[in-house]
Structure 1
Amino acid sequence: MVTVKVWGDYACFTRPEFKVERVSYPVMTPSAARGVLEAIFWKPEFRYEIRAIGVLNMGSEMVILRNEIDRRQGSNPFFVEDARQQRCSLVLKNVAYLIRAEMSLQSWATDPVYKYRDQFNRRVERGQCHHRPYLGTREFAAFFAPAGEGDRPQPLDMDLGNMLLDIAYVEDPSRPEMGFVRHGPGGARRATGYHRALFFPARLEAGWLRVPPEKYRELYRLEGEDYV
């Protein structure tokens, strides 16, 4: 088990049911928590399974107006002024969380899990990361540090409804809707298929959002990967 404290001035954990305007969940999602951990330390031999997210500071909601573009940035350049759109976003201000997660090894991994856990803890203590972690969207940078003895979640009980757990990337040549990378004992390879969002009924109990482990089994079944 690894534990890390993360906080930031702003956050936006976008609800996927809102198509145009960005509306944040009131609490960090497991997929956003996984992104923070992978920014600190990632290897293809394991995957983070979020077990719980503790709310140290719920923060407050605020509406901001942001400039976005209406197309993907690719190899063909275009004038931003021709693609700019202004959209409102409901974001969170002044948030802080505790993230608890386990590392699940790929079946082909050769090193023990404690090796990766120790590497993660050393990087957190030193403030090292592969890239700056963020809280939902890249412009909302996250700070991180080891969890302290005085870090206690707020005594909150709240029904959060269906929350996004993660996105499964399903390899299926008959549905080449997108391309992604698969890792194996032979290294990385390109794959094609489609994506599928997985949700779970979320609830805060005494300030903790618990994530059901069986949902990760469903994720691995869809992706056709074997973790231990």
Structure 2
Amino acid sequence: MRPEFCLDVRGDYACFTRPEMKVERVSYDFITPSAARSVFESILWKPEIRWRMERIEVLSPVRWISVRRNEVGAVVSARNVAGAMQSGKGQLGLYVEKERQQRAGLFLRDVAYRLYARMEPVKGEAMGNLAKYTEMFQRRASKGQCVNQPYLGCREFDARVRLVASPDGEPEPLTSLDGDFGWMLYDMDFTRPADPRPMFFRAQLTRGVLDLTQAEVRS
């Protein structure tokens, strides 16, 4: 049996943006599987392994906050970057004052989740020595070490992460949160790296628990 790990993840704010919203950021009601996976990857990412999300437990009520903030509405041109690499010089500056846009967002606040994921070997040393990576993750998670700061949808919304050795004695999921929450982003399909495709599933919570082992994923 491949090892399963559990993380307690909390934050003051979160935004798991719905892709159908083109301009304003509007969050899903709770964390998406891809965002949950990124929390595990922020602690340990290796090309030899991958994380498969199995279960999400919502621990706090869904609370919303509306925020208007400044964002940059442009990126540096890839053509300019390529030209600068070839010639050794070029204009790569991005003037924030000219590209600033004010946008509204509907975010989550005071979020808390318990995330379960399994570590799966993909290639290389992990195929015959998964215990090495298991011990590596447990050591890093217990000490609060990470590859990059875990975040909740947007990088400015940092997450507080704690390794849960045993769910016994931990807070119960929010049993009042129950029902069908519609189609939710599951992850991105990178089978063709030049043309990644989004995958969706029907998010159905049962007493605050999202069982991803039964999710029917569609492209």
Q: TM above 0.5, one fold?
A: yes
Q: Greater Rg, structure 1 or structure 2?
A: 2
Q: Distance in 1 between matches of 2:67 and 2:37?
A: 26
Aligned residues with identical type, % of pairs: 42
Answer yes or no: is 1:38 the counterpart of 2:54: no
* SS of residue paired to 1:82: helix
Amino acid at match of 1:151: P
- Kept in 1, the 8 Å contact 2:55–2:210? The answer is yes
Alignment of 1:11-160 (within 5 A): 11-73=14-76, 75=81, 76-108=92-124, 109-147=126-164, 149-155=169-175, 156-160=177-181
- Kept in 2, the 8 Å contact 1:27–1:58? The answer is no
Alignment of 1:198-209 (within 5 A): 198-209=199-210
Query: Which of 148, 152, 165 in structure 1 is aligned with 2:186?
Result: 165
* SS of residue paired to 2:74: coil
- Kept in 1, the 8 Å contact 2:49–2:123? The answer is no
- Kept in 1, the 8 Å contact 2:7–2:161? The answer is yes
Displacement, 1:210? Answer: 1.4
More contact order relative to length (CA 8 Å, sep ≥ 6): 2
Q: Distance in 2 between matches of 1:77 and 1:38?
A: 31
Q: Residues 78-101 of structure 1, C-alpha deviation per residue, up to 9 Å, x if partnerless?
A: 210110111101000000100100
Q: Distance in 2 between matches of 1:119 and 1:214?
A: 29
Give the structure 1 partner of residue 7 of structure 2.
4
More strand by share: 1
CA RMSD, 1 decimal: 1.9
Q: Distance in 1 between matches of 2:72 and 2:10?
A: 28
Q: Residues 154-178 of structure 1, C-alpha deviation per residue, up to 9 Å, x if partnerless?
A: 112121101100011233xxxxxxx
Please report the TM-score for the alignment, with normalisation by the length of structure 2.
0.84
Q: Distance in 1 between matches of 2:98 and 2:36?
A: 34
Unaligned runs of 5+ in 2: 82-91
Displacement, 1:136? Answer: 0.3
